[in-house]
Structure 1
Amino acid sequence: MTTLRFIEHLSELVADVDVVLSDIWGVVHNGLESFPEACAALKTARAEGRTVILITNAPRPAASVQRQLRKLGVADDSYDAIVSSGDLTRNFVAERSGQSVFWLGPQRDNSIYRGLDPVFAPLESADYIVCTGPFDDETESAEDYRVMMGQALQRKLTLVCANPDIVVERGDRLVYCAGAIAELYRELGGEVIFYGKPHRPIYERTLAIAQALRGAPVPLNRVLAIGDSVRTDLAGAQGFGIDCLFVTRGIHAEAFEGLDGLDALQVRELFGHPPRALTRELRW
């Protein structure tokens, strides 16, 4: 299949869906403000009996993500649960309480360690690295960390990436995330453990929560993922066997202008295997 299906409303796609897995950043908000129609769409999906789980590459625990959503005006009744890459990273740190960690990331991500009391150490003596992003994502890119990653490689340190995103929207700008640094380290030959989309652990955790909430196993053909990134949302859903509704207004907005005029080869180059459907923005 290489043709693209465009829809205007989520309601066109969910008649046979029991569980909705929605990305947050780029679908529900842009980092500065929420998208009211998207929030209303998820709330309506829940009102009709579906389970809505927000699945995010945020390098923070779910409770911290929820606090941010509330500040942006996303109501709690828009979703049933939140699963974050931050929570999976916390599990990794908790299982290694006797080891020291070099933390690469901004201070605002400190909630990822709340209640864990890890031993922090400089790069020269740490046992592993946790990367939640650049120290200053307003001005830095992965290239600013090439020397540091070379030093880490010499020590053969494992880098745990708490956010596989390369970039995210912040208002009308794109800023770099932990995934950009992690990919650089992997290109240099370093060992990287990714928690978050498109990797399987976050989907396994999310579907386990969905099963617990619904009280029964959920067939994958009755699950719909929603996202705005080819590399994380679409690839992750397809790799796990889940259909995806792709939102084009997010980080790839410029690339998706004129989508309805693409031929089959261009579709394959852009998506690989196309999503179940595309929409400019999420609305019921």
Structure 2
Amino acid sequence: MTIRAISGLAALADAADAFLIDQFGTIHDGETPYPGAIETLRTLRAAGKRVILLSNSGRRASNNIHRLAAMGITADCFDASLCSGEVAWQVLRAAPPAYLRRRCRVLLFARDPALDILEGFDIAPVETAEEADLVMIAGSEADRHGYDALWSRMAPAATRGVPAICTNPDRLMLAGGRLHPGAGALAEAYQAAGGTVRWFGKPHADVYDAALALLPGVPHARIFGVGDSLEHDIAGAVAAGCRGLLVRTGIIDGLDDAALRVEMRRFSTLPDAVAPRFAF
């Protein structure tokens, strides 16, 4: 298994017309842009490349754009910003499942109490699984409360057969310089316990369908998904017929080539190229 190593995106300039670029772990660490990331985004656009920021953020687009702007990643850095929470909202509004066609009691797991992903529905937030008609898994606070505490709140709903929606499939999240179980790990456990989960976000098709709709006429083979997750960013892009550039930051920071090959075999995913970081 050969890893094609490149120093930056300039090596792909002749092969790419557009980039679907991950956010957390690729262009920023949740609070601060990585060195050179903003300049790289602007350089890509100046070179005539289409830039879509594609995130597994469980919130609506307006929230995500506000967070980016607060870090200095402003509208001139990208053509569009698309997140899994926004795609979920659009899909659910277009074809609401039965439990959202009436008043719905929602048990939310997220990093803040906002339920903008269910804006426009008749919902009532609740605190316990015993009260819930729906479990919404939009984020993880495993770094704050511990995974076991979160799962103990959620598990009774799976036993009751309460449906769940996951708008952030990331199984790992980086917080405080350490890896913790992400929202996707909670949703995976919920499913394993017999609960039903509807997934939105990378690597699932809905978010790529929405992203590719923003790139009409661009051949998929000339679109690169860029990110730090083989499981989500690279596997999702490849499944959508695009190509993949893995950056060795975020959740794979520190992995050597041997460990990286193990991860590639684990997820049956081979990126077209690997770069040390997001740089031109």
SS at match of 2:28: coil
Instruction: Check whether the contact 1:120–1:126 (CA below 8 A) recurs between aligned residues.
Output: no
Q: Which residue of 2 aligns with 1:124?
A: 130
Over the residues paired in the alignment, what is the CA RMSD in angstroms?
2.3
Matching of residues 199-218 of structure 1 within 5 Å: 199-211=204-216, 217-218=217-218
Whole-Å Cα distance in 1 between the matches of residues 40 and 210 of structure 2? Answer: 24
Q: Deviations over 1:222-253 (max 9, x none)?
A: 10010001211121112222111001121111
Instruction: Check whether the contact 1:4–1:277 (CA below 8 A) recurs between aligned residues.
Output: yes
Instruction: Check whether the contact 1:61–1:111 (CA below 8 A) recurs between aligned residues.
Output: no
Q: Which residue of 2 aligns with 1:49?
A: 48
- Report the CA distance between 1:58 and its aligned residue: 0.5
Any stretches of 5+ residues in structure 2 without a counterpart?
Answer: none
- Report the CA distance between 1:210 and its aligned residue: 2.1
Q: Deviations over 1:174-214 (max 9, x none)?
A: 34321111011111121111100011100001101222xxx
In structure 2, the CA distance between the partners of 1:193 and 1:13, relative to structure 1 (3 Å rule), is same
- Report the CA distance between 1:107 and its aligned residue: 6.0
- Report the CA distance between 1:97 and its aligned residue: 4.2
Matched residue type, 2:124? F
TM-score (norm: length of structure 2):
0.88
Q: Which residue of 2 aligns with 1:179?
A: 184
Q: Which residue of 1 aligns with 2:232?
A: 232
SS at match of 1:281: coil
In structure 2, the CA distance between the partners of 1:231 and 1:141, relative to structure 1 (3 Å rule), is farther
- Report the CA distance between 1:101 and its aligned residue: 3.8
Whole-Å Cα distance in 2 between the matches of residues 221 and 43 of structure 1? Answer: 23
Q: Does 1:83 align with 2:82?
A: yes
In structure 2, the CA distance between the partners of 1:107 and 1:223, relative to structure 1 (3 Å rule), is closer
Q: Deviations over 1:57-97 (max 9, x none)?
A: 00111111111011112122111101111112223553334
SS at match of 1:98: coil
Q: Which residue of 2 aligns with 1:246?
A: 246
Any stretches of 5+ residues in structure 1 without a counterpart?
Answer: 212-216
TM-score (norm: length of structure 1):
0.87
Matching of residues 4-23 of structure 1 within 5 Å: 4-23=3-22
Instruction: Check whether the contact 1:248–1:278 (CA below 8 A) recurs between aligned residues.
Output: yes
Larger mean CA deviation between 181-190 and 146-155 belongs to 146-155
Q: Which residue of 1 aligns with 2:273?
A: 277
Q: Does 1:105 align with 2:104?
A: no
Q: Which residue of 2 aligns with 1:150?
A: 155
Q: Deviations over 1:83-124 (max 9, x none)?
A: 111112223553334240423224625162474253125333
Matching of residues 131-170 of structure 1 within 5 Å: 131-134=137-140, 136-170=141-175
Matched residue type, 1:151? P
Whole-Å Cα distance in 2 between the matches of residues 226 and 80 of structure 1? Answer: 15
Q: Which residue of 2 aligns with 1:24?
A: 23
In structure 2, the CA distance between the partners of 1:113 and 1:194, relative to structure 1 (3 Å rule), is closer
Larger mean CA deviation between 168-177 and 240-249 belongs to 168-177
Whole-Å Cα distance in 2 between the matches of residues 196 and 56 of structure 1? Answer: 8
In structure 2, the CA distance between the partners of 1:89 and 1:141, relative to structure 1 (3 Å rule), is farther
Matched residue type, 1:147? S
Q: Deviations over 1:151-189 (max 9, x none)?
A: 112321111001001222235223432111101111112
Instruction: Check whether the contact 2:107–2:132 (CA below 8 A) recurs between aligned residues.
Output: no
Q: Which residue of 2 aligns with 1:65?
A: 64
Identity among equivalent positions (%) equals 29
Count of residues in Structure 1 that have an aligned counterpart in Structure 2:
273
